[in-house]
Amino acid sequence: LNVPDHPIIPFIEGDGIGVDITPPMRHVVDSAVAKAYGGKRAIAWMEVYAGEKAVNTYGDNTWLPDETLKAVKDYVISIKGPLTTPVGGGIRSLNVTLRQELDLYVCLRPIQYFQGVPSPVKHPEKTDMVIFRENTEDIYAGIEWAAGTDEVKKVIDFLSDMGVRKKIRFPEASAIGIKPVSVDGSKRLVRKAIQYAIDNNRKSVTIAHKGNIMKFTEGGFKNWGYEVAKEEFGAVEIDGGPWCKLPNGIIIKDCIADAFLQEILLHPADYDVVATLNLNGDYISDALAAQVGGIGIAPGANISDTVAMFEATHGTAPKIAGKDIANPSSLILSAEMMLRHLGWTEAADLVLTGVAKAIQAKRVTHDFSSQMEGATQIGSAEFGAEIVK
C-alpha cells in the first residue's frame, strides 16, 4: 500500500457500546502513531454514519447511507464499531449488507492470548490461530423464505417433481434457506489463507468443513481448497492425500467442523491458520475467542481485493451500552490489525505492548476484573488511558 503520512480513515462509531469503545480506540491509536513516528504521521479520522446514528442524522429509515458506502470504498481502509440489526425496514443485517455490497469476502479473525487474561481453559497460551472465514456465501447469503409463503410452495413443488420429498421428511409448513458455495468464492478464500500462512511463517492451514454430510457445498469447499494448494502453491500430497505439504513445509489439512470444535479445545497447539465457510467460521471464532478471554478482546477485519474494514467480533451489547463498562480491547486490537495493514508496524507493536501491560497491571474492565484476583475495575475510557500509559 502507498500510504500517505496523514491518511484519511473513515470510522463508524457503532451502536450500543460503540460510544464506549470507539473513543478509547482512537485515543490509543493516535498516541501510538504519535509516539512511533515522532509526530510525522497521524491518522485523519473522518466520521461516517451507519446504524442508529445514521437514522438519527439522515432520517428516512436510512441505516446505511450511500455516502458511507462511498467513503469506505474510496478511502480503502476503515474501522467500525458494532451495528444493531434493524428490526423490519427490509434490511436483514447491516453487517451482512456491508460485506455483500463491498464484496468483503475474507473475515479475518486472529485469536491470540494475552498473559493474565481470565480463561476457562488450563493452557490458554497454547491457542494461537488465525481464522479465515468466508464472508459472502453459505447459508448467510440471505436467500431464505418463511414457512407458508408462495416461494416455499414453488420450491416444494419443484422438489416434489424431483422425487426429493419421497426420500426425506419435508412437511408443507417448512421454512427454506439456500446454501450457495461457489468454486471461485471458496478458492479465493483458501488462496488468501494459504498466502497469509506463507507470509507469516505459520505451520499449517486447516480447512474446517462439514463435507461428510453436505458433500457438494462443504465438501466442495474442502476439495477446491486442496486444489488451490496443489495447483497454485505447488503442494504435494502426504501419504496419498488428501493432506498435503507446500514446498516450504506448511501443511494443508482438513477437519470436520464439529470434531474441530472439540479439537481446538483439546489440542489447540495442533492448529494454526484456519480456512472455513461462513456459518462454521462464526461458531469457531466465538468459541476460540472464549478460550482466550471472550469477545471483549476479539478483533477482526473484513477484507476484499481492494477494501479493508476493521471491526470487533462482538455486537452492540445493549445491556452495558453507554455505561463506560465495555472492554474496548476488541476494537483497539482491530485497530492494531489496521495499523499493520497500513504498514505502520512500529505503531501496531506499541498498541500490542500497551494492551499486554495494561492487562498485567490488573487495571481492567469489568469482564476481566470480575474474574481476576486482585484486579481493579476501571471504565472503558480509563482502560484506553492505561494502555496509552
Catalytic residues: 140, 210, 258, 282
Indicate the DSSP class of residue 334.
Answer: H
The least distance separating ligand NAD from the CB of residue 289, rounded to whole angstroms, comes to 10
- In the complex with ligand NAD, which residue's Cβ is closer, 244 or 312? 312
The least distance separating ligand NAD from the CB of residue 356, rounded to whole angstroms, comes to 18
Can the peptide bond before residue 242 be classed as cis, meaning omega within 30 degrees of 0?
yes
- In the complex with ligand NAD, which residue's Cβ is closer, 207 or 317? 317
The least distance separating ligand NAD from the CB of residue 169, rounded to whole angstroms, comes to 31
- In the complex with ligand NAD, which residue's Cβ is closer, 137 or 272? 137
3-state helix, strand, coil in the chain (%, to 5): 45, 15, 40
Determine the Cα–Cα distance for residues 50 and 47; give it in Å rounded to an integer: 10
Determine the Cα–Cα distance for residues 353 and 344; give it in Å rounded to an integer: 15
State the residues that interact with ligand NAD by CB under 6 A.
17, 21, 82-85, 95, 295-296, 311, 314-320, 326-327, 330, 367
- In the complex with ligand NAD, which residue's Cβ is closer, 83 or 350? 83
The least distance separating ligand NAD from the CB of residue 248, rounded to whole angstroms, comes to 35
The least distance separating ligand NAD from the CB of residue 154, rounded to whole angstroms, comes to 30
* Alpha helices (H) along 249-328: 257-266, 278-291
* Closest-approach residue to ligand NAD (CB): 315
In angstroms and rounded to an integer, the radius of gyration of the C-alpha atoms of the chain is: 22
Nearest in space to 77 (alpha carbons), one of 5, 8, 2: 8
Determine the Cα–Cα distance for residues 110 and 338; give it in Å rounded to an integer: 13
Buried b (16+ CB within 10 A) or exposed e, 149-158: eeebeeebee
- In the complex with ligand NAD, which residue's Cβ is closer, 209 or 314? 314
